[in-house]
Amino acid sequence: GSVRAVAAVDLGATSGRVMIGRVGDDALDLELVTRFPNGPVEREDGLHWDFDALYGHILEGLTAAVSREPAIESIGIDSWAVDYGLLRDGELLAQPFHYRDPRSEQGVTEVHEIVPFSELYQRNGLQFLPFNTLYQYRVDARLADADAALLIPDLIAYLLTGARVAERTNASTTGLLGVRSGEWDAELAHRLGIPTAALPALVDPGSAIGRLSPELAARIGKDLPVITVGSHDTASAVVAVPMVSPNAAYISCGTWGLVGVELAEPVLTDAAREANFTHELGVDGRYRFLHNVTGLWLLSETVRAWEAEDGAAIDLSELLSSASAVTGAIALFDANDSSLSAPGDMPARIAALLRAQGSDVPESRAAFARTIVESIAAAFAAAVQTAADLSERELDSIHLVGGGSLNRLLCQATADRSGLPVLAGPVEATALGNVLVQARALGAAPATLEELRGLVARTHEPERFDPR
């Protein structure tokens, strides 16, 4: 059969990319067009994203994609969750805040005074994360002046097409969707003083929501539709996890490690709430029953601090191979400790945690990196076990996708600590999931998630790490 092409915009917390995806009967591949850096920017009023820069990179990337592959038929956009921009009269009110900005702490206190967390969990099914959008909205004074609040991928789609929608998988991370209904919980918003007028109509992944404005069609070189995908990056990643067993767990590992299983029904028990397991909405109405583990953030922030100290770049693969060669006892710390969530100073903060628990601080950088990777793997293994217990499943394997799947030390350590085989890859699961959902909407890919995953499995065979 013929091969069809789409463009995928995929924005992670540390880098973004525009890719060409090609899909055929037994073909699925990605071509990188541009990759650009992303990260927190400190401004007078706190940590932000440089949204204007991101948008500029996206337009350049789409233009280059169409010139390389004129057969591109549509555009799909995904990004990290929870963050948003406010529009008034079609203009962005300010550069969006970064979810690591501490302003949301006050929002947490205020929201939980009005609606206790146990009630919130029954309503929205979300694990507690201090930056869930509802806490941010609660302390955002500008929300009252806005006529729309759009999550990052929806904001980009709006700028491209003029269509204002809220794609459902990402909207579920706001905390304002009913976990069972998948609709805005207007009563909850009302109690929290969050104006519902700014919340756009919800749409499912796979909807053609609009076409490029004439001006942008001319600039990019083609009049294209924007098709919603699982616009929460983790939702797109889970689409492309090549799970063939119903008893597989997944870990989508980039800045975060999202660890869990896919469910058809929510598990809204006290035990799930106490274990802080979330129910984010997935593509095709599935639940992403998972826990956020701090992932490669710990390593990238550590390396960033060492590079600043040295005034020179560090070769990550060299660091990891020397870390693999470290022998002897390895100290572990709690990767999820809240003291590690802000940017900056990571080696010192990890050392403080180790000292506070009476552990020796590794002296060499290799040993320090080993401690980080093993601590992440230990947290992954614990979360997999909790997912198995809470969902009452006998798990037989762990799929590890995303950037972390390239980290062989992490894959092996996760297998060793969980006692389960780790099936690593694809590294670009998120972009693949984005491409597949567009292709399916165009009639160019099979109908069910199981078939889509089968295509990923056939074209991107995972690498197996058996527990030792």
CB nearer ligand LRH, residue 255 or residue 375: 255
Q: State the minimum distance, in angstroms, from the CB of residue 81 to ligand LRH.
A: 4
Q: How far apart are CA 6 and CA 20, in angstroms?
A: 6
The reply on whether position 256 binds ligand LRH by CB under 6 A is: yes
Burial of 323 (0-12, 13-18, 19+ CB in 10 A): buried
Q: State the minimum distance, in angstroms, from the CB of residue 235 to ligand LRH.
A: 8
At 44, give phi and psi (nearest 5°).
-50, -45
Site for ligand LRH in 99-158 (CB under 6 A): 99
Which range in 29-37, 76-84, 139-147, 414-422 contacts ligand LRH by CB under 6 A?
76-84
The reply on whether position 38 binds ligand LRH by CB under 6 A is: no
Site for ligand LRH in 6-25 (CB under 6 A): 12-13
CB atoms < 10 A from the CB of 250, how many? 28
Indicate if 416 belongs to the active site.
no
Q: State the minimum distance, in angstroms, from the CB of residue 352 to ligand LRH.
A: 25
Label the pairing between strands 397-401 and 248-253.
parallel
Q: Which of 233, 315, 389, 466 is catalytic?
A: 233
Choose, by CB under 6 A, the member of 231, 292, 294, 391 that binds ligand LRH.
292
The reply on whether position 49 binds ligand LRH by CB under 6 A is: no
Beta-bridge mates of residue 177: 184
Q: State the minimum distance, in angstroms, from the CB of residue 436 to ligand LRH.
A: 18
Q: How far apart are CA 343 and CA 272, in angstroms?
A: 29
Which range in 51-59, 133-141, 249-257, 326-334 contacts ligand LRH by CB under 6 A?
249-257
CB nearer ligand LRH, residue 234 or residue 397: 234
Choose, by CB under 6 A, the member of 23, 62, 82, 395 that binds ligand LRH.
82
CB nearer ligand LRH, residue 432 or residue 442: 432
Choose, by CB under 6 A, the member of 120, 216, 240, 258 that binds ligand LRH.
258
Which range in 61-69, 104-112, 118-126, 251-259 contacts ligand LRH by CB under 6 A?
251-259
Q: Which residues contact 223 (CB under 8 A, 6 or more apart)?
A: 211, 212, 214, 217
Is 262:304 a contact under the CB 8 Å cutoff? no
CA separation (Å) from 289 to 202, 284, 360, 392? 21, 14, 36, 12
The reply on whether position 78 binds ligand LRH by CB under 6 A is: no
Q: Which residues contact 274 (CB under 8 A, 6 or more apart)?
A: none
Is 397:419 a contact under the CB 8 Å cutoff? no
Which range in 15-23, 74-82, 182-190, 302-310 contacts ligand LRH by CB under 6 A?
74-82
Structural tokens at position 314: 């560090």
Is 120:135 a contact under the CB 8 Å cutoff? no
Site for ligand LRH in 349-368 (CB under 6 A): none
Which range in 75-83, 141-149, 351-359, 437-445 contacts ligand LRH by CB under 6 A?
75-83
Q: How far apart are CA 289 and CA 169, in angstroms?
A: 13
What binding mask, one character per residue, do residues 199-238 give for ligand LRH by CB under 6 A, x or -? ---------------------------------xxx----
Q: State the minimum distance, in angstroms, from the CB of residue 126 to ligand LRH.
A: 10
Give the number of residues in contact with ligand LRH, rule: CB under 6 A: 14
Choose, by CB under 6 A, the member of 161, 228, 255, 397 that binds ligand LRH.
255
The reply on whether position 81 binds ligand LRH by CB under 6 A is: yes
Q: State the minimum distance, in angstroms, from the CB of residue 385 to ligand LRH.
A: 20
Q: State the minimum distance, in angstroms, from the CB of residue 279 to ligand LRH.
A: 13
Is 136:82 a contact under the CB 8 Å cutoff? yes
Label the pairing between strands 256-263 and 422-424.
unpaired
Torsion of CA 48, 53, 56, 60, to 10 degrees: -120
Q: Residue-wise over 175-209: b if at least 16 C-beta within 10 A, else e? A: bbbbbeeeebbeebbeebebeeebbbeebbbbbbb
Q: How many residues would you count in the chain?
A: 468
Q: State the minimum distance, in angstroms, from the CB of residue 402 to ligand LRH.
A: 9
CB nearer ligand LRH, residue 80 or residue 380: 80
Is 263:152 a contact under the CB 8 Å cutoff? no
CB atoms < 10 A from the CB of 326, how many? 17
Choose, by CB under 6 A, the member of 49, 51, 80, 250 that binds ligand LRH.
80
Active site residues: 233
Residues of this chain that interact with ligand LRH (CB under 6 A) are: 12-13, 80-82, 99, 232-234, 254-256, 258, 292
